[in-house]
């Protein structure tokens, strides 16, 4: 049995020390304990003062040995982060010899885990410090500061004011100081304005995507500066290297029986004999794949109502890897299509950006081009509820109870079926023609069975909440619902007096928070299936001290009152981030304690002085770290996760032997309106079971769905009416100026690669099948991207330096004039899909993860509804309890421990059980709804693919 100790104070100490990690190295041959002593004695390195002195996830020799013995030492020369090799950071084989549990803090395993958490926190601090580049007109202030306040400590920006054209301009204060109040602060607004009371425009629909890379490093293809020209020569353009060539050579899934796959079309009649091979992740299911697509539809979209700019362009299948025209025979062999066309990306600004003079020289104030996020950037369930007037018109309310979403009941067996299904769009609904026949919802693009599933599921969750509220109202009509109207902040609103509109908006808040919770503590710990990330994600949400309420409360006060309000850039950013891991980000600042004993005596509610009438209380828990929140283009790039999707869904039925695969349903035969038919025809519980049991596609090379390489998009009216989405992934990143992979890593504070062979996982034995396969894959990279003779006089970056302090040049450490890999040209997506070296249980690469550390935290830190406004005044009392306990009936704890932890019944499991009670038996043994439901989770973070008791007959487990 694995035993996890109480991590409390010691852990905070370790985490706080993250600021100071790293120390002088010493000679080898030492014991790990001696290294620990030297590590402490050697002193700690402060947070990097300059961009080119960053941590890079690489620690000194003593630190490595103290936390992992010899293993991290063996891989310290690779570009990848060291913590992955610490004790206990993987499965049971990584526990220190002679141990079967994590044990105490200063034990080897404890040092491994705490060390990993320190490294992660250290990276978050430097990411916050070096990677925030807002495109919306605030960057000059960030770089220079304003009125004596350093840029990173600024909290209000003129660029975040509502413009005169906004219908709410007068309501927030017009030309004067703008402050959201009244109806505008009661819930999540349609366009996303007024989340931050003092920056009304922030995160609203139509505001520009931000950047995480220095503006100068964006759009390398344009060759706008010497560094970019030195880095890439004249080797790059929108269609060079050829995107369809890359797609076919590096992304195509090899098929052992192509006639049973038929480019993802499967066999007639959804015959279960169909077969489309794909590389599978043993610990992550298809529900997880569609979950993240469902999330991205909430967070961002570059498209406007399903289309891009009017102008169309070719998309490759024109040039071979030497830049020569492809012959007809080569085109046939590759299977690409020269006739494909796509509409260009929408661009908002492409004039020359202005510059500001900073202490480190002139800097651009925005990227060379900017694009708008047509969605709200908030985690507000806008894919369900809308992000502008037009999308809200697509959301159907129940005429019998306007607090509910309209669901049409179904007469089938299955207790959940009475809850019903979303109706299809009706004539006159404001939709793009291609969406006709789909379920009516706010964000209808790229609809398949996966989107249909989650939209129906959360529509049922919305109505469940309304039903529970109505039930309570029937029992105690005059009791205080907890809700308040900011116009009368102290007047209770009784259950019976809550209007349908008020209840609808409260339900939206609850659904959005449940989604954020599922994502943070259920989806992500399964995506990153190891102990450091389990603890890390839970501390983001609940805090490291979830079980120690007093410690949490004290830390929360320190964070909000001292660091949150500080004008000192260091306190406002670095310390805020570290100490917030104590109380957790969720709910930060939603209680206000009296400042002193005297006040406590006179306060009407001394336990909690939070007041809806006080904007500082409503808004006090947020922190944007000096840069308004929006997603960066780099984030979109690492969420191009099309490889997750299988071509065929192994369809099962819950009430007729779940172990049997009855049909193989091509995902493409559920595209758009066909999803709606498939959902209603076969039933949501059967789809839950099918996608819950099936493994998703590994995010790796040569694993893109066949159907996405050959997707019909008739709206284009191009010669082929088809598009290769894998090729489009590259083109869009190029159009939006995402830095190429190696500079991308340098910009994010990760170590660069110096040749394609660096992708090969050095932990694999020489000559092993997996290693040989990686070696072949690297050769294909070389073939497609090529090599050049390097010139050591060409400096290629200022983001990092060589270990000896010299500037990094075109030769990347190889001899001047030698033939080097064109690793600088690698498209970002190609690079992260090629990263075979990953921490244990990571379904994504460490490069993607680095982007995630920063933006996943910010998404919570910046949103008052997840921090200081997570309160009954907005959510209702029932809503707060629902989100806290994962439902209306109080917290429930699983009967068995998971990886040594006592865990609550997970939020998604509870949502599934509410919507589909018929799945009770199937879900009973499930701990995390994103782990394949019939898998035996085994011991400590096992990735083994073996059946749980009762599922032995499931053909998915046949060798
Ligand atoms: C299974 C069915 C899917 C289909 C049919 C589909 C289709 C598409 C298409 C056609 C585009 C390109 C739009 C354009 O730039 O013109 C796109 C973009 C994108 N897809 Fe998918 N996709 C699917 C699944 C997924 C999944 C599972 C993810 C995982 C996160 C994902 C993430 C993205 C992202 C991040 C973009 C870029 C969006 C933007 O530019 O704002 N997609 N998808």
Could you report the per-residue pLDDT of 435-445, keeping only the tens digit for each? 999 999 999 99
Long-range contacts of 358-365 (CB under 8 A, 24+ apart): 358/143, 358/144, 363/139, 363/143, 363/214, 363/215, 363/216, 364/139, 364/215, 364/216, 365/137, 365/139, 365/140, 365/143, 365/215
Check residues 604 and 325 and name the one with the higher pLDDT: 325
Task: Please choose, from the candidates 282, 401, 210, the residue with its C-alpha nearest in 3D space to the C-alpha of residue 851.
Answer: 210
Name, in order, each residue with C-beta under 8 angstroms of 485's C-beta and a sequence gap of 6 or more: 186, 491, 493
Nearest CA to ligand 1 atom 32: 640
pLDDT category at 7 given cuts 50, 70, 90 is: very low
What is d(CA 436, CA 422) in angstroms, rounded to the nearest whole number?
Answer: 14
Checking if the pLDDT of 578 tops 90, the result is: no
- In this prediction, residue 257 carries a pLDDT of 98
* Listed residue (81, 85, 21) closest to 56, CA to CA: 81
Q: What is the band of 951 on the pLDDT scale with cuts at 50, 70, 90?
A: very high
Confidence band of 15 (pLDDT split at 50, 70, 90): very low
Residue among 837, 759, 941 at smallest CA distance from 85: 837
- Please, which residues bridge with residue 789 across strands? 819
* Rounded average pLDDT over 492-516: 98
Whole-number pLDDT of residue 559? 56
Residues 648/642, Cβ–Cβ less than 8 Å: no
Which residue among 342, 640, 714, 851 is best mutated to probe the pocket of ligand 1, counting the most ligand atoms within 8 A of its Cβ? 640
Residues 902-922 have a mean pLDDT of 97
Higher-scoring residue by pLDDT: 558, 169: 169
Q: Would you call 601 helix, strand, or coil by DSSP? A: helix
pLDDT of res. 536: 86
* Bridge partner residues of 358 (DSSP): 361
Number of Cβ within 10 Å of residue 440's Cβ equals 22
Ligand 1 site residues, Cβ closer than 6 angstroms: 289, 292-293, 296, 300-303, 308, 446, 448, 636, 639-642, 644-645, 667, 711, 725, 728, 732
- pLDDT over threshold 80, residue 561: no
Ligand 1 geometric centre to CA of 448 (Å): 11
Dist. CA 729 → ligand 1 center (Å) = 8
Indicate if the alpha-carbon torsion angle 622, 627, 631, 635 is positive or negative: negative
Query: Residue 651 in contact with residue 690, Cβ under 8 Å?
Result: yes
Q: CA 218, CA 131: separation in Å to the nearest integer?
A: 13
Can you tell me the mean pLDDT for 76-90? Answer: 97
The chain-wide mean pLDDT, for the chain, equals 92
C-beta atoms surrounding 814 within 10 Å? 16
In ligand 1, which atom is closest to the CA atom of 292? 30
Low-confidence winner among 23-27, 127-131, 345-349, 823-827 (lowest mean pLDDT): 23-27
Q: What is the mean pLDDT of residues 112-128?
A: 90
Centre of ligand 1 from the C-alpha of residue 341, in Å: 17
pLDDT at 574 over 70: no
Q: How confident is the model at residue 14 (pLDDT cuts 50, 70, 90)?
A: very low
* Residue 644 CA to ligand 1 centre (angstroms): 11
Interval between CA 636 and ligand 1 midpoint (Å): 10
Burial class (CB in 10 A: 0-12, 13-18, 19+), 116: buried
% of the chain surpassing 70 pLDDT: 92
Q: What is the pLDDT of residue 4?
A: 30
Q: Distance (Å, rounded) from C-alpha 736 to C-alpha 738?
A: 6
Distances 563 to 570, 626, 880, 903 between C-alpha atoms, Å: 9, 13, 26, 32
Q: How far is the CA of 642 from the centre of ligand 1 (A)?
A: 7
What's the N-to-C CA distance of the chain in angstroms? Answer: 29
Q: Which residues contact 248 (CB under 8 A, 6 or more apart)?
A: 334, 335, 336, 709
Kindly give the number of the ligand 1 atom that is closest to the alpha carbon of 736. Answer: 40
Q: Is the pTM of this model over 0.85?
A: yes
**Probe ligand 1: pick from 305, 446, 687, max atoms within 8 Å of CB?**
446
- Round to whole Å and give the CA distance between 136 and 365: 9
Asked if the model's pLDDT at residue 10 lies above 70, the reply is no
Ligand 1 atom at minimal distance to the Cα of residue 671: 5
In this prediction, residue 27 carries a pLDDT of 42
Mean pLDDT of 320-324: 93
The whole-number pLDDT of residue 537 equals 87
Does the structure show a pLDDT above 70 at 13? no
The stretch 437-455 carries a mean pLDDT of 98
Q: How far apart are CA 959 and CA 957, in angstroms?
A: 6
Pick from 11-20, 186-195, 362-371: least confident: 11-20
pLDDT score of 33: 86
For the segment 544-557, the average pLDDT, to the nearest whole number, is 55
CA 640 to ligand 1 center in whole angstroms = 7
pLDDT of residue 395: 98
Give residue 725's region: left, alpha or beta (phi > 0; psi -120 to 50): alpha
Atom of ligand 1 nearest to the CA of 301: 41
Indicate the pLDDT class of residue 236, thresholds 50, 70 and 90: very high
Using pLDDT thresholds of 50, 70 and 90, give the confidence band for residue 121: confident
Is a pLDDT exceeding 70 seen at residue 560?
Answer: no
State the distance from the centre of ligand 1 to the C-alpha of 828, rounded, in angstroms: 16
Q: Write out the H or E segment, with its range, that includes residue 281.
A: strand 280-285
Looking at per-residue pLDDT, the higher value among 715 and 932 belongs to: 932
Question: Which residue puts its alpha carbon closest to atom 26 of ligand 1?
Answer: 293
The answer on pLDDT for 17 being more than 50 is no
Residue 356 has pLDDT above 80, yes or no: yes
- H or E element that contains 450: helix 449-475
C-alpha–C-alpha distance, residues 577 and 954, integer Å: 46
> What is the arithmetic mean of pLDDT over 462-490?
98
What is the CA(952)–ligand 1 centre distance, in A?
35
Closest Cα to atom 38, ligand 1: which residue? 301
Average pLDDT over residues 215-232: 98
CB 763 within 8 A of CB 836: no
Query: Please, which pLDDT band fits residue 101 given cuts at 50, 70 and 90?
Result: confident
- Best residue for ligand 1 mutational test, from 296, 312, 733, 737 (most atoms within 8 Å of Cβ): 296
Mean pLDDT over 669-678 rounds to 97
Q: For ligand 1, atom 7, name the residue with the nearest CA.
A: 446
Q: Which atom of ligand 1 is found nearest the CA of 667?
A: 1
The larger pLDDT score, comparing residue 153 to residue 44, is at: 153
Average the pLDDT over 587-599 and give the result. 77
Tokens representing 149 are 């306040």
Q: What is the pLDDT of residue 450?
A: 98
Q: Which residue has the tokens 């060079």?
A: 240
Are residues 571 and 563 in contact, defined by beta-carbon separation less than 8 angstroms?
yes
Instruction: Kindly state the average pLDDT of the residues 762-781.
Output: 97
- 411 pLDDT band, cuts 50/70/90, is confident
């Amino acid at each position: 049995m694995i035993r996890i100790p109480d991590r409390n104070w010691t852990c905070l100490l370790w985490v706080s020390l993250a600021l100071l990690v790293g120390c002088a190295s010493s000679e080898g041959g030492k014991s790990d304990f001696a290294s620990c002593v030297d590590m402490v004695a050697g002193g700690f390195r402060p947070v990097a003062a300059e961009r080119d002195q960053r941590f890079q996830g690489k620690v000194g020799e003593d630190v490595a040995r103290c936390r992992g013995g010899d293993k991290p030492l063996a891989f310290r020369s690779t570009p990848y982060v060291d913590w992955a090799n610490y004790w206990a950071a993987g499965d049971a084989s990584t526990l220190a010899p002679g141990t079967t549990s994590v044990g105490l803090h200063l034990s080897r395993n404890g040092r491994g885990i705490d060390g990993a958490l320190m490294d992660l926190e250290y990276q978050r601090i430097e990411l916050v410090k070096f990677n925030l580049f807002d495109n919306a007109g605030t960057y000059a202030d960030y770089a220079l500061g304003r009125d004596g306040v350093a840029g990173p400590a600024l909290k209000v920006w003129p660029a975040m004011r509502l413009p005169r054209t906004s219908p709410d301009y007068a309501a927030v204060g017009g030309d004067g100081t703008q402050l959201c109040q009244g109806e505008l602060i009661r819930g999540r607004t349609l366009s996303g304005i007024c989340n931050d009371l003092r920056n009304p425009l922030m995160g609203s629909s139509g505001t520009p995507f931000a950047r995480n890379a220095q503006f100068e490093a964006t759009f390398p293809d344009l060759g706008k500066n010497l560094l970019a020209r030195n880095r890439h020569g004249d080797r790059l353009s929108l269609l060079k290297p050829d995107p369809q060539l890359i797609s076919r050579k590096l992304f195509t899934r090899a098929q052992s029986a192509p006639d049973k796959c038929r480019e993802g079309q499967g066999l007639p009649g959804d015959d279960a004999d169909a077969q489309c091979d794909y590389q599978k992740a043993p610990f992550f299911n298809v529900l997880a794949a569609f979950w993240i697509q469902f999330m991205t539809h909430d967070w961002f979209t570059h498209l406007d109502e399903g289309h891009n700019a009017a102008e169309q362009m070719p998309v490759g299948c024109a040039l071979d890897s030497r830049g020569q025209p492809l012959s007809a025979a080569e085109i046939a062999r590759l299977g690409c299509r020269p006739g494909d066309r796509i509409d260009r990306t929408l661009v908002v600004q492409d004039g020359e950006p202005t510059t500001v003079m900073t202490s480190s020289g002139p800097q651009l104030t925005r990227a060379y081009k900017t694009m708008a996020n047509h969605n709200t950037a908030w985690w507000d369930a806008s894919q369900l509820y809308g992000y502008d007037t037009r999308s809200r018109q697509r959301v159907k309310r129940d005429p019998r109870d306007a607090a509910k979403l309209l669901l049409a009941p179904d007469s089938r067996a299955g207790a959940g079926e009475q809850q019903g299904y979303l109706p299809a769009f009706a004539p006159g609904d404001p939709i793009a023609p291609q969406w006709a026949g789909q379920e009516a919802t706010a964000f209808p693009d790229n609809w398949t069975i996966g989107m249909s599933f989650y939209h129906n599921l959360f529509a049922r969750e919305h109505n469940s909440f309304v039903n529970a509220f109505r039930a309570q109202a029937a029992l105690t009509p005059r009791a205080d619902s907890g809700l308040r109207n900011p116009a009368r902040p102290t007047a209770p609103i009784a259950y019976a007096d809550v209007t349908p509109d008020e209840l609808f908006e409260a339900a939206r808040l609850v659904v959005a928070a449940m989604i954020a919770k599922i994502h943070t503590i259920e989806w992500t710990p399964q995506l990153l299936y190891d102990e450091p990330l389990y603890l890390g994600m839970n501390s983001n949400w609940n805090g490291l001290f979830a079980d120690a309420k007093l410690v949490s409360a004290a830390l929360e006060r320190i964070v909000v009152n001292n660091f949150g309000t500080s004008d000192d850039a260091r306190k406002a950013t670095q310390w805020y981030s570290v100490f917030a891991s104590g109380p957790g980000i969720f709910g930060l600042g939603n209680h206000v304690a009296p400042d002193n004993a005297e006040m406590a005596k006179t306060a009407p509610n001394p336990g909690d002085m939070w007041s809806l009438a006080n904007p500082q209380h409503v808004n006090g828990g947020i922190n944007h770290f000096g840069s308004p929140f929006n997603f960066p283009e780099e984030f979109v790039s690492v969420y191009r996760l099309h490889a997750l999707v299988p071509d065929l869904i192994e369809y099962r039925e819950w009430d007729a032997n779940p172990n049997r695969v009855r049909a193989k349903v091509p995902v493409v035969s559920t595209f758009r309106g066909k999803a709606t038919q498939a959902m209603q025809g076969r039933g949501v519980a059967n789809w839950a079971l099918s996608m819950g049991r099936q493994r998703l596609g590994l995010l790796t090379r040569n694993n893109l769905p066949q159907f996405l390489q050959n997707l019909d998009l008739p709206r284009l009216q191009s010669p082929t009416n088809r598009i290769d989405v894998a090729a489009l992934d590259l083109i869009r990143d190029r159009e939006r100026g995402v830095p190429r992979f190696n500079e991308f890593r340098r910009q994010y504070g990760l170590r660069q690669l110096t040749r394609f062979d660096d992708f090969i996982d050095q932990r694999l034995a020489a000559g092993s099948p997996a290693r040989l396969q990686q070696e072949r894959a690297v050769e294909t990279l070389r073939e497609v991207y090529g090599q050049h003779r390097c010139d050591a006089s060409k400096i290629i970056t200022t983001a990092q330096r060589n270990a000896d302090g010299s500037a990094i040049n075109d030769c990347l450490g190889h001899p001047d004039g030698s033939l080097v890999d064109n690793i600088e040209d690698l498209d970002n997506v190609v690079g992260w899909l090629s990263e075979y070296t990953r921490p244990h249980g990571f379904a994504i690469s460490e490069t993607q993860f680095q982007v995630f550390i920063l933006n996943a935290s910010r998404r919570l830190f910046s949103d008052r509804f997840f921090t200081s406004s997570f309160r009954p005044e907005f959510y209702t009392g029932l809503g707060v309890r629902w989100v806290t306990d994962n439902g209306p009936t109080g917290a429930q704890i699983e009967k068995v421990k998971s990886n040594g932890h006592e865990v609550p019944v997970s939020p998604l499991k509870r949502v599934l059980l509410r919507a589909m009670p018929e799945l009770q038996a199937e879900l009973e043994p499930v701990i995390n709804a994103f782990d394949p439901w019939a898998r035996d989770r085994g011991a400590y973070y096992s990735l083994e693919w073996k059946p749980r008791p009762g599922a032995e007959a499931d053909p998915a487990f046949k060798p």
